[in-house]
Structure 1
């Protein structure tokens, strides 16, 4: 039971009296507001025990007990900082972290937490009382089981057989109002959703279902729907942009017809108006929360002006104005269109719901790594408005996703806000800070900075406790089905992985790549302009637009690991140093082995985009800068952004939408910036064409090779998929984004090739889910012996191996959470990993993983040294105080006489 745990504070109220820490008692006043606490506690004895003394004024406290308790309760930064004159501007002050005292603060915080636990568990009555509170509030869920074996689906295609897990899921959606189908990629979620929709309509539980799917899947969903229910009445809205008049006609069409389902694209979901009352309600709620947060900041400043920054009233008013403007803009955009309540929609199904994970939230946690973007996205807010309306009116919601957690366990909070907001409210967890204190912990520790030269104190939201409780809350609304679950009932449900694990293909590193990453010089530094040198120079500098930063260094490191020509298009790369050639060679071998059955293969390439259609690639010209088609500049720019955009520390792509891009390009054009020059900043070299040339030279006809980018429309894409499934196209190359969700080309698939590593595990799962899924006729013909080959490529001594290690760590963490109830886990380190640093690059450049172990050991030594120094200082001060007090005692005795 942690000191900051929400259920403890709620029970004991705002005023905790006789709060015993060790053998001391103190009246402590705690104000609780929007998930944050403000502590009022002044006691010299407690300062002696837990306070951090001022390094220059040892008789005063830089961080007194009150401040430390405040930080611990609120998961705040424990760093101790001192002001000094900015060497670059004598008129300004900068704050420098004192590592020694920061480490002491961390140590004192741990002692404080342990003292609290001792106090809790010393008293039997108090201990059992708090345990009862926890059990009544958090440990009170008994999970239901769902058996859909008796379901008989009227109107369902008799030639389609449903698996037991699908029937169980359909039955669950009938029973529950909010469900997340967390089924393995390829397990048949689409069919579950379609059957659930129709069966609930037949039973009178729902009237009209709205199904929001990724833009490129609207037609595919429509086809699947009619295949399952030939007599269904379904409206399929294509993903094309619509005019104001067309939208009005569409909304009226939805409202005035008794559709079984309306299938729309994700981008169109935001166009469907929300009830005005819900918008006004959420607007008022955000305003009230902002006001409460400002009140809390004022309270904190009044309580401790030395430690707390004075709240900025102008910034606060600007924030209120911004909130009002955002919601006023939503209302203005909706205009007089009818909203979803008037359309008769009472059931919402969202396919690939993890794409809406960036929901805005408020937190008092500052300078904490590992948190998602607080601002959120417009489409996530729009979906939240819709789910809020549906919850308030007892309607139904279903999320479909094979990857509910993409990057961090904190994403679970947003999923709960969408699907079970009432449960969060009942448990006092509606604010993120309360949720974080109950299930998470901020870990304060020394980490090597990006330069790999020095250490800094980093506060990271990276540890989760009571994982069993959180897992139970999740499983209360999530229907979890993994391939392992299915294989227990049907060992041949999906193809097994050949050799039970991916085939690792490691390519030698060229001297040019080695120099680009970094080579150690005799003076211990690295060659000028190398990745490691750039990273070392970035440390301590604020990232500004147009300047080098860690993310751009990491992106360049990934590009050079894929192909040096992405850095220097004019370079010559020998076959032994080429991942493209290594992949082509393996593809060709599989091509020959499966020629009789027309076995097909997929090649995933993330950090490059083709410059022309696969059938227009010149087999003679190595310089494919001459092969550029006349593309729409916006399409070309969007493709460049997909491959070249930077990423945040959570691995999320930082790239504008096409509309935002269009506006940005218009602004640049107005300023006289040449758009062609802007677009020409992208890579001239094309990995796709390079792979194609190798394949053709080896003997595969060019017309049997295609790029996913060849298909510009949904119709063209479906036609391409059919050609792959028939074996007309034997090799299909594409990016994880374009060849992931909705790419059903598994019928003859024999191998998948991952030429570079994606950022997030959900992308990898979607990639491999193209092959590890039902519907492979070659597997059906020989289920005992068929194995799906998965190749992973890496260039030795580059950032490739670190990328694969990160993905493995994240994937393992996600699976551990999903199976926490089976594994008995109650604590879990978060799998959200920070940005890279020079030590990682050094380890990869030298091929010596012990460098990273050395870094960890040095960090531990640094921490222990700081503890030792702090202990000595405290010891010397106490010795001096003891002598002074002894002399005062003699004097006072004389006075008393």
Structure 2
């Protein structure tokens, strides 16, 4: 009796015991006329018995007698399908095989029904006809013989796939090229590189002719000793490449250096760069000078920044503390050194005291210290650019660190995708995404829902196998999508060898057997669920090494975290983990992730792995992280080490769901070495460079108050975007070529619902109760509860904790009226509608908003059988039937919540209207919900409506504005205007009682505030632009003297050359070459022509422009210059060298005449340069005057800021620091259980 083991207990020795495994076979080319049975295949023995091929040879297959005839028929379908595909590939006659396949399928269908017949056993879907065949690697191929669709009532229809009627495989053909550019495309497609020898063989031309024809399309990279396409060579760290080539041989590689210099990003000005305390790019001595300016002491502190973590430490050099250290720039017992230290490390101080024997937050002292931190940060921003010399230095440092890289624009136009079904043609964004994944080896495909991510992942796997970039690709996807994506990939690549888990593999033994088959088998792609991937661990040795790095990080940061208790707890937790790993390592070896041989991990719905434990105090103290997300990160890091920076492609429709900090997460997971090189090994230095953080009070999942960091403003956005673009392939909805419905008004339509008497009474009650809440007394939880209650009652007063009678008007009645009106108007098309509401769901213990809406709709004439709740579909079968009913219009109104209905619901065929009752806080939730109607596949409506319901004088409009703004901010960072350098990141907003009062009163000052804020934004933009102009003027002021001196030297040189000029016009022509006087212009022209040829060959050989002087004419040396591209110029050399370009437009070269004309123009040069010198002198005076001008917009900005602050105080929009500290104290007392 075999043992039953978990997957993580399986050893290599157990392989033959646990799975009917195939012997490992080489990847056989699909063009062979026959193939051996695939891994795990069921076969028919000569004695007509069924067998399964294992490592021990064919073994009797355990197939029930009642299924054996069915399995034999499936084997016949599998073999005929494979034979037909091979015949199509080899361009053989396929009529007989196709007829045979049709006959076999018809017989199977008549005897057993459709191949993909779906039944439900214990509420779980089961493919009855494939039940005994699913472990066969050919099962996905046989399943792909049918196109499955759903109709009314969840009934599935099955139709023959395209292979029954026409060829679906593109034949393999020898590549053909007639031009150098065509040969380059073929080389990129067939070899994945610029293979000059391959192109020469293809075109039957010498390499140098091909390279000359390609011109600037390719460059030789001496650093990699290989030819590269222009997009590859002229991207990445272009400044670093140029500097390396200059050190290597500036003359020989002049062409490459010039191209790199032209590709370099423009340097940023000081006005563009936000310098914040703690940014790792700021030199430590600058921070030390800032502390000296605060203390008015020289060399008052030693400041050190750890390069491996970006963490800062401030050590005072004296024990004495004066007025400026303790009072002017200190607060609440903390001196300036402590507070600066905290600011540098993005740490908000927290002071405590003992109350009734418990250590709790001292709200007043904490708020006072944080106010002082804000003053210090503001003082630094004022001080840092006040000194011109320091400004120039910091600008140079920032540019050298963050403005030296050019994102690469990947193109997949050359890809032909051998093996791809002829029925499928990739879109350009799909080609480009695959090209990025193949070239970079690691990628984040940040594409919207429905943009073809499955194809990109499948094509990446198949192309990686073909090009030898990967041997064992794995694809991880959510469990419900495993069979769906397998069938889709098999249809895309009919000849692909897939290994797909079945329902039998859900058991312990089945899981172990599946993993073992994946370990020893030769498959094009192994498809697994997210859960299975998580159950296959990394080896203890690998995890120990990663844990030791975490421990080292904690030890390094211990000096920067002013909380010994937490540091000690963290070290103890890590030590427990280490002890457990040591014990696991001592146990018998289990089959691990390393052992299965996966070298490329493709992940669909990758946002499921974003909740990692962030490195440094931000993560280990504030976010535990999801275990499976950390496991995923470790697997990606392991693959990166194994494959030299390759090995992971992640696809997601929501790369940034709620906060821009998620951009750091993707960089940290997918390119940790690049992030560390940029100084962002942990989150704090990334925050210091790109963000401004504040603490925001909110309700936790259990309703308990808590305080968490929120990043309210992001700056240096183009550099943030460029860093993310090194790994992310971003496609927005607007980039897609798909046809989908348009919103009738171009956006969301707000339906304003008047206040009811009941809602007014509830608002007054909440304000009365709130007035009794005294700040500073630990009553923060009560305030947050009141806010939440008020927001719910804005939907319907019956959601109040003390239910009221039915209101005269509410959102629910407004929704019912609008739904009924559209219901009647679209009766002919049987138009359908979706209603999203996250509160008052059917299983609510008190009032059901869903039932109330249904009753109101029925009263308006909507048929009750045509209204459904998503919550009633409790099983996969019920959900399938409900979606089919929506598609055919037998259910016309579906009410549900965003979590249940926001994703995975494809019912767009008849949708004509979309209704949002409760407004979400996360943009991704709004986007996903809106994506149910704004997607391809609507068969009846080109224009649709999207309604958002807002109650008058409630928080609805305010919240909707915030979530829409947040969505725009995320889009701006992902793929926005490169000139926008700052954006605001709005997170969940908790209204204060004063804000509730202002919103409920309909205060007209809210409109005034919006006007002032818009004017402030405009004026600040003008002030920044004026500052930019002044900064550029200062740069010009420093460069103009250099230009003036250069012109003066050129004028002096040409003045010395003018007397040397001798006229050679007419018969006075004479030139001296090699000591011989020549009076025939034609002979000199021929000499110059020959010199051009020699020089051009030298330029090609040496890789850079070359010069050749051959004699004297008109009183000067003369010659030619030619670069590697064949561009020519004639030269005249005296005290300086003059040149004139020879046009390549087909006109006569006339080298000799051009030299004569160039020498005769020296007088013109003298006059032109003298005029330029005069202009430069005038510019110097004008620039000095402009630099001295005071920015006229600053006073207006100050006035508008004061006006805005006054309005905020009047409206109650100013956060009370004591109230925040009060809520934080309440979180400490009431949220301990939640934190645990």
Q: TM-score, normalised by structure 2?
A: 0.54
Asked if structure 2 preserves the Cα contact closer than 8 Å seen for 1:348 and 1:397, the reply is yes
Q: Is the 8 A contact 1:605 1:754 kept in 2?
A: yes
Q: In the alignment, which of 517, 541, 547 is matched to residue 778 of structure 2? A: 541
Q: Which residue of 2 aligns with 1:454?
A: none
Residue 766 (1) aligns with residue 766 (2): no
Q: Which residue of 1 aligns with 2:761?
A: 515
Matched, 1:505 2:726: no
State the partner residue of 1:413: 664
Alignment equivalent of 1:812, drawn from 968, 991, 1007: 968
Distance in 1 (alpha carbons) for counterparts of 2:457 and 2:851:
39
Is 2:824 aligned against 1:592? Answer: yes
Q: Following superposition of structure 1 onto structure 2, how do residues 599-678 of structure 1 map, counting pairs within 5 Å?
A: 599-611=831-843
Distance 1:777 1:448, change over 3 A: closer
1 CA distance for matches of 2:925 and 2:537?
Answer: 31
Q: What do the CA deviations read for 1:428-447 (whole angstroms, capped 9, x no partner)?
A: 210212222222234699x9
**Equivalent of 1:527 in 768, 779, 795:** 768
Matched, 1:776 2:938: yes
Task: Work out whether 1:724 is the aligned partner of 2:991.
Answer: no
Structure with higher Rg: it is: 2
Q: Which residue of 2 aligns with 1:708?
A: 870
C-alpha change, 1:704 and 1:254, in structure 2 (3 Å) is farther
Aligned position for 2:462:
198
Q: What is the Cα deviation at residue 708 of structure 1?
A: 2.6
CA distance in 2, matches of 1:61, 1:701: 67
User: Do the aligned residues in 1 keep the contact of 2:793 with 2:799 (CA within 8 Å)?
Assistant: yes
In structure 1, what is the equivalent of residue 598 of structure 2? 345
Alignment partner, residue 636 of structure 1: none
Q: Is the CA contact 1:7–1:134 (under 8 Å) kept in the aligned structure 2?
A: no
Match among 790, 794, 797 for residue 561 of structure 1: 794
The 5 A counterparts of 1:269-284 are 269-284=533-548
Listed one character per residue, the Cα deviations across residues 567-588 of structure 1 (whole Å, up to 9, x for unaligned) are 35864324x4232332233223
- For residues 806 and 706 of structure 1, the distance between their equivalents in structure 2, rounded to whole angstroms, comes to 31
Aligned twin of 1:627: none
Query: Match for 1:361 among 592, 600, 614?
Result: 614
* Per-residue CA distance 1:218-250 (angstroms, 9 max, x = gap): 343334333433443434447999444343233
Task: Report whether the alignment pairs 1:138 with 2:402.
Answer: yes
- Alignment partners' CA distance in 2, 1:13 and 1:570: 62
Q: Name the structure 1 match of 2:389.
A: 122
Q: Tell me, in whole angstroms, the C-alpha distance in 1 between the residues paired with 2:986 and 2:727.
A: 23
Q: Please state how far the C-alpha of 1:466 moved relative to its aligned partner.
A: 1.4
- Structure 1 residues 816 and 17 mapped into 2: Cα distance closer, same or farther (>3 Å)? closer
- Stretches of structure 2 that go unaligned for 5 or more consecutive residues are 1-273, 701-706, 1010-1202, 1217-1236
Find the partner of 2:519 among 255, 261, 285: 255
Cα deviation per residue 1:681-702 (whole Å; 9 max; x = unaligned)?
x533322233333334444444
Distance 1:174 1:594, change over 3 A: farther
* Structure 2 Cα separation of the partners of residues 240 and 728 of structure 1: 36
2:637 aligned to which of 371, 382, 388: 388
Query: Within 5 Å, which residues of 2 pair with 1:198-597?
Result: 198-237=462-501, 242-297=506-561, 311-312=564-565, 316-326=567-577, 337-364=590-617, 373-394=622-643, 395-442=646-693, 461-486=711-736, 490=737, 493-519=739-765, 526-528=767-769, 532=770, 536=773, 540-541=777-778, 548-549=781-782, 551-567=784-800, 571-574=804-807, 576-597=808-829
The answer on 1:29 being equivalent to 2:302 is yes
TM-score when normalising by structure 1: 0.73
Q: Does 1:828 align with 2:983?
A: yes
Residues 705 and 729, structure 1, Cα contact 8 Å, conserved in 2: yes
Separation of aligned partners in 2, 1:258 and 1:393: 20
Q: Distance in 2 between matches of 1:442 and 1:396?
A: 34
Residues 43-97 of structure 1 show CA distances to partners (whole Å, capped at 9, x for unaligned) of 7999666752499xxxx99554433432332234378x7x8885x6799994623
Deviates more, 1:852-861 or 1:401-410: 852-861
Kindly tell me: are residues 466 and 724 of structure 1, through their superposed partners in 2, closer, same or farther at Cα, counting changes over 3 Å? same
Q: What is the aligned partner in structure 2 of residue 77 from structure 1?
A: 348
CA shift in 2, pair 1:444/1:385, >3 Å: closer
Aligned-pair CA distance for 1:399: 1.8
Deviation at 1:483, TM superposition (A): 2.4
Aligned to 1:746: 908
CA deviation profile, 1:394-427 (whole Å, cap 9, x unmatched):
2421222222112221221111111111111112
What pairs up with 1:42-57 in 2 under 5 angstroms? 42=317, 52-53=327-328
Partner Cα separation in structure 1 for residue 823 and residue 788 of structure 2: 33
Q: Deviations over 1:650-695 (max 9, x none)?
A: xxxxxxxxxxxxxxxxxxxxxxxxxxxxxxxx53332223333333
* Counterpart Cα distance in 2 of 1:209 and 1:137: 36
Go from structure 1 to structure 2 and tell me whether the alpha carbon gap of 1:695 and 1:441 turns closer, same or farther (over 3 Å shift): closer
TM superposition shift of 1:290: 2.3
Kept in 2, the 8 Å contact 1:587–1:601? The answer is: yes
Q: Which residue of 2 aligns with 1:869?
A: none
Deviation, structure 1 residue 550: 5.0
Change (3 A) 1:331 1:91: closer
Q: Deviations over 1:236-285 (max 9, x none)?
A: 44799944434323322332433433333334432122233321112212
Question: Could you tell me how far 1:755 is from its partner in structure 2?
Answer: 1.5
Asked if the contact 1:213–1:351 (Cα under 8 Å) also holds between the matched residues in 2, the reply is yes
d(CA) in 2 for partners of 1:43 and 1:610?
67
Q: Mark the runs of 5 or more structure 1 residues left unpaired by the alignment.
A: 298-307, 451-456, 521-525, 612-681, 780-785, 867-897
Contact 1:74–1:365 (Cα < 8 Å) also in 2 = no
Is residue 2:272 matched to residue 1:2?
no
1:166 aligns with 2:328: no
CA contact (8 A) 1:602 1:753 kept: yes
Aligned length: 737
Matched, 1:106 2:374: yes
8 Å Cα contact 2:277/2:380 also seen in 1: no
How far, CA to CA, are the matches of 2:361 and 2:809 in structure 1? 51
CA distance in 1, matches of 2:438, 2:361: 62
User: What is the Cα-based RMSD across aligned positions, in Å?
Assistant: 4.2
Q: Deviations over 1:21-58 (max 9, x none)?
A: 79864253123344332212357999666752499xxx
Where does residue 843 of structure 1 map in the other structure? 998
What SS does the aligned partner of 1:38 have?
strand
Question: How many angstroms does 1:499 deviate by?
Answer: 0.9
Paired residues of 1:215 and 1:239 also in contact (CA < 8 A): no
1:152-185 CA deviation, whole Å, 9 max, x = no partner?
Answer: 2333333334322222222222222111112233
| Cα distance in 2 between the residues matched to 1:604 and 1:714 | 21
Residue aligned with 1:285, SS = helix
Deviation, 1:824, is 0.8
Alpha-carbon separation, structure 1, partners of 2:684 and 2:365: 25
Kindly indicate whether the alpha-carbon contact (under 8 Å) linking 1:35 and 1:432 is maintained by their aligned counterparts in 2: no
Indicate the residue corresponding to 2:130 in structure 1: none
What residue in structure 2 maps to residue 884 of structure 1?
A: none
